[in-house]
Structure 1
Amino acid sequence: MALISPTKVARQYGISAALLRQWRRQGIGPEYFQFTARTVSYADDYLQDWFNDPDNAHLLPQPVETGGGTGCAQGRVTHPHAVVNG
């Protein structure tokens, strides 16, 4: 069992260290070990199980779907005061 810092956990699983801290304060999230007031570590064995558990999916940030479009109506970029012909 290897112990991993919150920063490395955040990087590995694509979340923020702040989210991990929030989960610890709320008593949710993956199991962790707190050795001192400022030293927190996560066991890699528990992490993989926790992040792969479908029951925890609602806690994870959802990816933003871009849809591949321009985000503008009909694919045209307009200025609020521009006159658009067509």
Structure 2
Amino acid sequence: MLRKLLLVSCIILASNVLVFAQSGTLKGRLTDKDKKEPIPFATVVVETGGKQVGGANTDIDGNYTIKPLTPGKYNVKASFVGYKQ
């Protein structure tokens, strides 16, 4: 009986962790530093620990959305033909 109670308790605790797992969204707008104009169709990637964990292309207005991301520290890199990294 005690084993069953312990097993059920562990299952309930594990399910709570999965239900409350957090994820985030990174949104932004990529613009030219000098002209302040949006950069459409550029590539934006999110890296952590040297590995890419997300990415997106900007839309016609330079906007991008990358999800889902777990909370943490990331490096965000953008690239487009004719621009330095």
TM over 0.5: no
| Greater strand content | 2
With the length of structure 2 as denominator, give the TM-score of the two structures.
Answer: 0.20
Structure with the greater relative contact order (CA < 8 A, sep ≥ 6): 1 or 2? 2
With the length of structure 1 as denominator, give the TM-score of the two structures.
Answer: 0.20
